[in-house]
Structure 1
C-alpha cells in the first residue's frame, strides 16, 4: 500500500486541513488518491451518494481528491450524544449507542476487522491513501486499544508525518514529547515533521527548524501558514472556537444558538463570506442581544439541547424575539425545537423511553423520534405555496425524528422534493422557517433570498447574490497552492512512494 498518515501532537492542530491539501496535490498530479480516517468522532457528518453517513472531513477530503466519497473512507464514526455516550455509525449506518468504556471493552475486535477490510479494498482501487489520525497518538491510557493512530499506520504499513500547531505555543515540547512517548518501532515509522498555523516571518524560525532536525533526526517537511477564510468545512465542535473569534463588522446581526451537542455546524459557514453579515454564537440569554435573525442549528441530542435553552434563558429569548416579528430559522434539531412537543417514545433521542419536552410553539407541529435514522441526499425546489422562485435547492437529511403538523393546523411546507414530497415549514410572513435540509444556506439562491428579507426588515439595502457555491472546487486548488508553496512536496512524494523499498524504512 502506498500512503501516509498525518498524526498530530494534539487535537485541532490542522490534521484534517493538511490531509485535504495533500489529497488535492496528489490529485492534481494525476494520482488516484483517497482519504481515510478509520475512526472519527464528530457530529459534523456527510451523506454519501448512496445515502450513508461518514465524517464530514472525509467527505470534503474525497471532494479534494476528485473522487466520490464512500463509507470505506471513514468506516467508524462516533457521534457524541452526551458527555458519556456516543452513537456508533459503522460503515455508514447507526448500529448502537455505547459509553466510552463499553465501546473500548466490546468494539475493538469489530473495529480492527472493518478497518482492515476497508483498507484492503481502498488499496486495490487507489494509488495512494492519505490517512488522518485523531487527537494525540500518545494518550498512554488509551494506546492499548486505539483504533485511529499508530495501530492503523501499522496495519496499513505506511509512514507517518507528525504535525504540531505553532500558533498555540509549546511547539518544541509537543513534538519532542510526542516522539519520546512512542515505542521504538512507532518512532521509526515517523518520517517527517510539519509545523502548522505559522504567522509572520519564517526566517525567524530558521534556528527552530535546525534545532528540531538535529534533536529529532527528522526533516521538517514544511512550515505551513495560518490560513484565514479558507472555506474548508470544519470537522467538529473544537472549530467553533475559531468561528467565535472571527470578527466581522457587518450591519446584519445573526445570532446562531451554540448548542452543547450541535451537529453539522458547517451549515452556518457561508455567512462568513457575506460582507454585510455578522454571525455570532450565543450561549445564554445574556449574549442574546438584539439580533436581526436567529438560527437554531442541528443537534445530536435535540431534547437535551432544548432543555439547555430553557436552563440558559434562551428559550424565552427566542420565543419573545419571534413574537415580536423576528426571523427564526431552525435546521434539523433546531426545526424540531420550533414545534409544540417533542416525543421520544423509544428513547432514541434521550436514552429514556417516553420522554416528552415542550417546544417553542412557533410551529403547530409535533416531532416523534424513531429507532431508524434517515440519511439521504435530496434535491428539489421551494414549495409553490411559498412563491419563492429561486430554482433548485439541494443538501442532505440526517435525522431520527418525524415532524408532523397538528390536526387542524395549516400546512405551510417550505420545499418540494422529488415529485410530491413536501418538507419543512415556512410561515405566511416568511419569518419562521424550519427544515431537515442540512446545507440550506450553502444554496446561494436561498441564502440571498432569505438575507434580503432580513435586510429589508432591518432597513438595510438588498444585495446581489454571493456565489459561495462557485468556489466549491476552486477552494481546494487554492488550499493546495497555499500549503504546497511552503511544503517540501518532492520530499513528501519520495517518502510516500519509496516506503518499503529499502529495509531501512522499517
Structure 2
C-alpha cells in the first residue's frame, strides 16, 4: 500500500494534528486519502454514519480528508472505565471489558487479525493511507505484543516519520533515545524527523537541525510552529489540559465538572471561540466559585463519577447553584446524574448487577443501565412543549447505555427525526438534560442558550458565530501552514517510492 506512518517520541507530541494536516494537504492535491489508527485509547469518540463508534481523532481526520469516516480507520477503540479496565470497541461495537493484562493475554491475535483486514480494506479503497501511531514506539515492556507502532508500519509496509515536541523540552534526547532503542530493522524504516510545537524564530534552530541530521543520519522534514487554538478535537486527558487552559477571561463564567472518566469532551470545544465566554474546569469545591452556568459532561463510568462528585461535595454546590437560578446542562452521563435514581440492572456500568445509586434529584427521572449501547447519528428539533422555534434543525449523536424515564409529566427537550423524545427542559431552559452529544456544536442553539445567560446578566444578545464553517476553513489554514514548513516534495517522494517497491 502507499502510505506513511506518523509516530512520536511520546504521547501528545502532536501526531493527531499532523495526520489531520497531511490528510487535508493530500486531499487538496486530489489524492484519495484515508487516516488510520490501529488502536485508540480514548473516551472521546465519534459515531459514524452507520451508527458505529471510532476514535474521535480518526473521525476528524476523515473529515479533513473529505471522506466518510468508517470503522476500518480505527478498528479497535479502548474506552477506560477504571484505572485497570477498559471497554473494547471492536469494529465500532462494544464487545467486552478487560483489564490491561487480560487484553494483552487474550485479545492480541484477534486484534492483529482485524488490523490486517482493515489495512487491506483501506488499501483497496484509497490511494494513500496516513497512519497514526500511539505513545512511543520504544516502550520496552510492551514491544513484544504491540500493534500500534512499528508492528503496524511493518504490516502496512510504509515508511515512518518520527515526531518530537520541542515545547516540552528535551527534544534532542527524546529523538536520539527513541532511535537508539529501536531494533535495527525498525530504525531502517524511519525516513524522517519532524520537530513540532516550535515557538519563536525557526532560523535559530538551524544548528539543531544540522546536529540531528549528522547525529542520526535521518533528515529533518520540517520544524512546525506551535499552533494556537487549532480546533482539531483532541482525544485524551493531556489534550484537555492544553486545549482548554487558554480561555478563562470571558464575562460569561461557565464551569465544567471535571469527571475522572469524562467522555466526549469535544462537546465543549465550540465555547473556546465565543469571545465573551470563560470556560473552566472544576475538580473540587474550592474551585467552584459563582458560575453563571454549569455543564456536567458525559462519562464512561457514570455511577463511579457520581460518587466522585459527591465525595468532593460538588453535589451540594450544584444544588445551591440551581436553587439560586443558575443554569445547568447535563449531557449523557451528566443528564443521568440529575435524576432521582440510577439502577445498574445487569452490571454494565459498575459490574455489579442490580446496583442502585441515588441521583441528585433535580429531575424526576430514573435511569436503568442495560447491556446494549445506543450509538446513533441523530437529527432533532426542539420539542414543541419548550416553546422554542420548532423549525430549527439540530444534529449530533448518541453514545449511552442507560435509558431514562420520568416519574411524572415533564417537558422534553428534543424530538428526534424518528419521533423519539429526548431529554428534559425545565424552568424555561434553566435546567436541561439530554443524550445528544455535540449539542453545542449547533451554532443557533449555542447562541440561543448563551443569550439566555447574557439576558439574565443584563448583557445584550450576541449574534451567531458560525463555528461549523470556521472549522473547515481551519483544516485548510493548518494544512497550508504546516505544508509551508515541511519538505513536502521530499515527503511525497518518500510515500510514492516506498509504496512502489
* TM-score, scaled to structure 2: 0.99
1:472 aligns to what SS in structure 2?
helix
8 Å Cα contact 2:2-2:499 kept in structure 1: no
Distance across 1 between alignment mates of 2:499 and 2:429 = 61
Distance across 1 between alignment mates of 2:258 and 2:210 = 43
Distance across 2 between alignment mates of 1:395 and 1:374 = 13
Q: Which runs of 5+ in 2 are unaligned?
A: none
Stretch of structure 1 that moved more, 465-474 or 439-448: 465-474
Deviation at 1:501, TM superposition (A): 4.5
Corresponding residue for 1:462? 461
2:317 aligns to what SS in structure 1?
helix
1:26 aligns to what SS in structure 2?
helix
Corresponding residue for 1:397? 398
Distance across 1 between alignment mates of 2:425 and 2:371 = 27
Deviation at 1:458, TM superposition (A): 1.9
Distance across 1 between alignment mates of 2:174 and 2:365 = 52
Answer yes or no: is 1:172 the counterpart of 2:172: yes
8 Å Cα contact 2:244-2:272 kept in structure 1: no
Deviation at 1:429, TM superposition (A): 2.6
Which digits, 9 at most, give the CA deviation of each residue in 1:395-424, with x for residues without a partner? 000000001101xx1221100111521111
Which digits, 9 at most, give the CA deviation of each residue in 1:87-107, with x for residues without a partner? 000000000000000000000
Matches within 5 A, 1:480-491: 480-491=479-490
Deviation at 1:500, TM superposition (A): 5.0
How has the CA–CA distance of structure 1 residues 371 and 4 changed in structure 2, closer, same or farther, with 3 Å as cutoff?
same
Corresponding residue for 1:10? 10
Stretch of structure 1 that moved more, 246-255 or 82-91: 246-255
Answer yes or no: is 1:438 the counterpart of 2:437: yes
Corresponding residue for 1:334? 334
8 Å Cα contact 2:295-2:328 kept in structure 1: yes
8 Å Cα contact 2:386-2:428 kept in structure 1: no
How many residues align structurally?
500
Corresponding residue for 2:40? 40
Distance across 1 between alignment mates of 2:393 and 2:428 = 22
Which digits, 9 at most, give the CA deviation of each residue in 1:97-122, with x for residues without a partner? 00000000000000010000110011
8 Å Cα contact 2:47-2:377 kept in structure 1: yes
Distance across 1 between alignment mates of 2:162 and 2:47 = 29
Deviation at 1:428, TM superposition (A): 3.2
1:498 aligns to what SS in structure 2?
helix
Matches within 5 A, 1:51-450: 51-389=51-389, 391-406=392-407, 409-450=408-449
8 Å Cα contact 2:229-2:243 kept in structure 1: no
Q: Runs of 4+ in structure 1 displaced over 2 angstroms?
A: none
1:416 aligns to what SS in structure 2?
strand
Which digits, 9 at most, give the CA deviation of each residue in 1:4-40, with x for residues without a partner? 1100000000000000000000000000100000000
Deviation at 1:231, TM superposition (A): 1.2
1:441 aligns to what SS in structure 2?
helix
Which digits, 9 at most, give the CA deviation of each residue in 1:322-377, with x for residues without a partner? 11111010000000001011110111011121211111111000100010101000
2:429 aligns to what SS in structure 1?
coil
1:374 aligns to what SS in structure 2?
strand
Distance across 2 between alignment mates of 1:207 and 1:341 = 63
Distance across 2 between alignment mates of 1:456 and 1:501 = 62
Distance across 2 between alignment mates of 1:339 and 1:212 = 58
Distance across 2 between alignment mates of 1:6 and 1:419 = 41
1:429 aligns to what SS in structure 2?
helix
Distance across 2 between alignment mates of 1:13 and 1:46 = 22
1:98 aligns to what SS in structure 2?
strand
Distance across 1 between alignment mates of 2:384 and 2:428 = 15
Corresponding residue for 1:27? 27
Distance across 1 between alignment mates of 2:493 and 2:33 = 16
Q: Which runs of 5+ in 1 are unaligned?
A: none
Distance across 2 between alignment mates of 1:416 and 1:90 = 30
8 Å Cα contact 2:247-2:272 kept in structure 1: no
1:499 aligns to what SS in structure 2?
helix
Distance across 2 between alignment mates of 1:19 and 1:59 = 12
